[in-house]
Amino acid sequence: MTSLFDRHEVGGLVLPNRVVMAPMTRVRAAAGGLATPSMATYYAQRATAGLIVTEGVQPSLVGQSNPGTPGLHTDEQVAAWRPVTAAVHANGGRVFAQIMHGGRVSHPETTGVQPVGPSAVPAVGDVFTPTGPQPAPVPRALDTAEIPEHAQSYADAARRAVEAGFDGVELHGANGYLISQFLSSNANLRTDGYGGSVANRIRFAVEATAATAAAVGGARTGIRLSPGGTFWGVEESDVPELYAALLRELVGLDLAYVHLEATADEELLLDLRRVWPGTLVVNPTLPMGPKQTGRTEADHWLGLGADLIGFGRAFIANPDLVERLRTGVPLAPVDEATYYQGGDAGYVTYPAYQHTA
């Protein structure tokens, strides 16, 4: 059976193990969406992962979802990321930037502009703003003519990511953000070529991914998906058909991987594994759900045909997670109060395991 500690090739990268550090928002960027020295430390501490996928990085100002998140749409942002990627590489790691357009999950207080979405339907719940949580505003429905520029924004950010030293990018097509909104049947009420039928609802995801693969190469491009997920109030009709159709369209792009979250039952995820012939990353537990991914869940999914396993929260308090999984030593608990509070506490202050006599 495949081991979590076997090598695996992704594009031109040989990963020393099958542990992926999943993307997690930590809101530690400086003003202007700039990466910081602390971010370099944070990711470098976790460079023993087979692959690191960063927190969501906005591809444009209107694409920013939360305050304090980094961007990849200005020259200054590219320059700020270079020490981060250099630090990861110096520690022997590999790192992809997750490109995340928030779409309707944003607020004018955060960006200075009205959020956009496939339709003028607000997200469900409060969004983060510089002055605290506020109800999600009604987004401006994108005109058909301007949709291609938002698809292209992923590709433009991917080019900047490569300039900044990243090994590749992951498009955030999950969790209720812009790509997910287009896949949705209640956030997307369009009657043009981007809404209604399955073929139309997958169109934006396909165009964004194809543009990115054309810009930086399929081997440097992955995409994360949450089949049937209900984050921020999205709903999806025809989930098996929707995601099978999407994966069939993506097969020809020779992507680095597809990254699936366990937002659907195991049977559906296995059906999608059969549709997708390339590298598959699986997050075995629901993001921010009651249970964290551990060795048992990882081994289970490797046995079912996943190639790589995404670990999220376990990486926050365990920078040496790979070694802890290898040796079976206990995982350190995470202080949830420090997830988004800013500063170095609960960010770069977790130590590696200390063996005692």
- The span from the CA of 170 to the CA of 195, in Å, is 24
Q: Which two tokens stand for residue 336?
A: 């949830």
Question: How many other C-beta atoms are found inside a 10 Å radius of the C-beta of residue 169?
Answer: 32
The pair of three-digit structure tokens given for residue 110, joined into one six-digit string: 């955060």
DSSP state of 220: G
Q: Specify the 3-state DSSP secondary structure of 225.
A: strand
Give catalytic status of residue 177 as yes or no: yes
Strands 308-311 and 280-283 turn out to be parallel
Write b or e for each residue in 342-356: b if 16 or more Cβ atoms lie within 10 A of its Cβ, otherwise e.
eeeebbbebeebeee
Backbone angles phi, psi at 55, to 5 degrees: -55, 160
Out of 42, 177, 257, 350, pick the active-site residue.
177
Stated as kind and residue range, the H or E segment containing 282 is strand 280-283
Structure tokens at 184: 């949705």
Contacts of 180 by beta carbon, 8 Å cutoff, 6+ apart: 173, 174, 187, 226, 229, 231, 234
Residue 26: name the closest of 319, 346, 353, 357 by CA: 346
Where are the alpha helices (H) located in 5-146, listed in sequence order? 37-45, 75-90, 108-111
Query: What is the spatial distance between Cα 79 and Cα 95, in angstroms, rounded to a whole number?
Result: 16
Cα–Cα distance for residue pair 25/105, rounded to 1 Å:
14
Output the six-digit token pair for 125.
Answer: 């719940």
Give me the active site residues, please: 177
